[in-house]
Structure formats: C-alpha cells, structure tokens
Amino acid sequence: MDQGTGGTRGITPLQIMSDGEQPVAAPVGTPVPAPADEQRTDARVVIVGSGPAGLTAAIYAARANLEPIVLGGYEAGGQLMITSEVENFPGFPEGIQGPELMDRMRAQATRFGALVLDVDVERVDFSRRPFRLWAGGVEYTAQTVIVASGASAIWLELESETRLRGRGVSACATCDGFFFRDRKVVVVGGGDSALEEALFLTKYAREVVVVHRRDQFRGSRIMQERALSNPRIRVAWNSQVVEVLGDQQVSGVRLRDTVTGEERVEPTDGVFVAIGHRPNTGVFRDWLDTDPKGYLSVHEETATRIEGVFVAGDVRDHRYRQAITAAGDGCRAAIDAEHWLAEHGLAEPATASAW
C-alpha cells in the first residue's frame, strides 16, 4: 500500500557497527547508536523528525556542508514505516516498500554527513541562540532548528487494527484507494475528512460503507449531501467498530450497535480510519504559533515567528499529508535555514549547483 506521512512507528536503521569496524546489516526494529567519535551535540542545523520531511531536509543541509544532527525519535521513519507497497513516490516505477524507501533516504542523508540519532526530543528552549534541545538525556545546541516531527493518524486503538495496518487497514484513501479497485471498503468516521475519504474511494471501490457511531454526520452540509446522494456509498448509522477481522488480510469488521449493543459482522476488503490526525507538536507549543487545528503555523515560506526556527512536513500540513509533499517541504526548509545562516555569517552562501 501507498501511504502519506505523519505519525511515527517502527525503526529502520541502516547499519550497526560491529566492534567499531565493518558495518553489518541491522534488522528492522534495531536502534542504531551513533559511533562514539560522532557523538557531537552542537550543530548549525538540528532537525527534529526522520520522516520524508526530516530526512530530505537532512540531505539538503548535509550537501550544503552544514553537518546537521537529526533527532529522529525512538520510533523513526514516519508512517511509511507501516506501509507496504508505495507506488506514488516518483522514481520507483515498480513501487517500493515503505521501510526500504526510508532506509534509502536515511542512507543518502548519512552519506553526506548528517548524524541521525534515534532519540525523542523531550523539551526545547528557543528563548535565545544557540537554541537548546534535550533528547535521550542529552542537551543539543543549534543555530537553526527545522521542526519536521509529523502528524500521527488517530486510530481506533484496537489490537486487530494495529495487527492489520498495511494489510487492508489504512488512514489515507489518497494513498491506498487504488489498491481496492472493484472491492468493498469501510470508512470509519463522521466528519468532513471521513466523507471526503468515502467520496474519493468511490472512484475505485464498488461499495463504500461509512461507519458512524451517531445517527447523523458531523460534516458540513454540502459534504453530507454529496455522500448521501452517491449510489456507491452506504451508511451504517449508530455503529462502532469493535474488531477488525482477518488473518493476513482484512476480511471484515465486527460492528456494535451503539443503541442496542447488538453486534454484527460487515464483510469488507479494506478499512479506512478517518477520525482525524494529531500533529506532533507537544514540546513546541509553548514556543511556536499553531493554527486552529493545532498544526504549527509559518509566517513566511517555512519560517516561524522565531528567527532561525523553520517548519516542514505534516506537522504544519493538514491538507495533503503525502510523502512527496513532505519531502518538498523538507527541501524548502533546509534551503531557508541555509540562507538564514549565510545572512548571519554562519555559513558560506550556497549556489544553486550546491544543492
């Protein structure tokens, strides 16, 4: 399945060092400690997040000889880490596995000198430069910071849902709808996001069942009218998903009537959870502006109200939420950070060919 970006789950390290000598392959899920001689804590650019936005920013910053530090999180890589087949990222005509794509991005960033650490940022101090960030019990300092911490899909918190993510369970119709051509799918939710996902899926699926726990939608009137008038959409009112059924692939959902408590099985080939996303802004809220939905706000291009702090990817984007748009944002933020450093005499001015 294809996938956008957003929340973080899973770790895909590139390599671990065997007794400090030859690199050996590390299995997915193995954290990668930085080599002892690379435990630097001061940088001109520190990037928070290791999804497509963060790693693209790292590639560009590293190629500009800024030697960025990436604080990627203990669960690094973004939502692509729980995505199987990615078919909408340019350059891979046969598709590519999500974790492999993130492996390649990380390898490209480290090749040019980025230091990528699998540690969570616990708090920050943006009151003056150098900016200070604490992660994994270590204090890091930076002249500029790029926040690319992403946004996490809000899930149903069911064990069966977690087990079948990437096996028929998705949070992105734009990413994965193509895989359900002429099949039946379920969309969970009742707001505009769910209705938009349902309408999009009618381009592919033969039937779309919208499961909503109330007896009326919360979405806008026009979206409700469009959904209710679409012959491919059916609504399961007063219903709650209590289990996603299937062994290796989704085969159905168990629904509970929120009025009577009765349960029934709804066969389906896919489940799209559309109950919202939560931007990963916790440690930044006291320092950076947010919009009404809680996403970080920019004041000019990728810049925030604090000079030297930039934002990229899904932590500010609640519309597109795609790997390719996040990567583009990371590129922009890195270039903006480099220009800012050059203007303040902290980096050599870059030419277009340097990127």
- Give the position of tokens 């693209």: 56
Is residue 331 annotated as part of the catalytic site, yes or no? no
Q: Out of 2, 118, 176, 314, which one is annotated catalytic?
A: 176
Find the helix or strand (DSSP H, E) in which 338 lies.
Answer: helix 323-343
Q: Out of 2, 103, 175, 331, which one is annotated catalytic?
A: 175
Other beta carbons less than 10 A from residue 134's beta carbon: 17
Report how far Cα 105 is from the mean position of its chain's Cα atoms: 14
CA distance 300 to 346: 21
Structure tokens at 48: 């928070």
Q: Is the CB of residue 68 less than 8 Å from the CB of residue 43? A: yes
The string of DSSP letters for 153-164 reads E-----HHHHHT
In DSSP terms, 48 is beta-bridged to 71, 147
Is residue 42 annotated as part of the catalytic site, yes or no? no
Buried b (16+ CB within 10 A) or exposed e, 286-301: ebbeeeeeebbebeee
Buried b (16+ CB within 10 A) or exposed e, 332-345: bbbbbbbebbeeee
Q: Positive or negative CA dihedral for 293, 299, 302, 308? A: negative
Q: Positive or negative CA dihedral for 334, 339, 343, 345? A: positive
Pick from 334, 70, 318, 354: nearest CA to 196: 318
The string of DSSP letters for 217-262 reads --S-HHHHHHHHT-TTEEEETTEEEEEEE-SSS--EEEEEETTT--
Q: Out of 2, 118, 172, 317, which one is annotated catalytic?
A: 172
Structure tokens at 348: 């050599």
Residue numbers annotated as active site: 172, 175-176
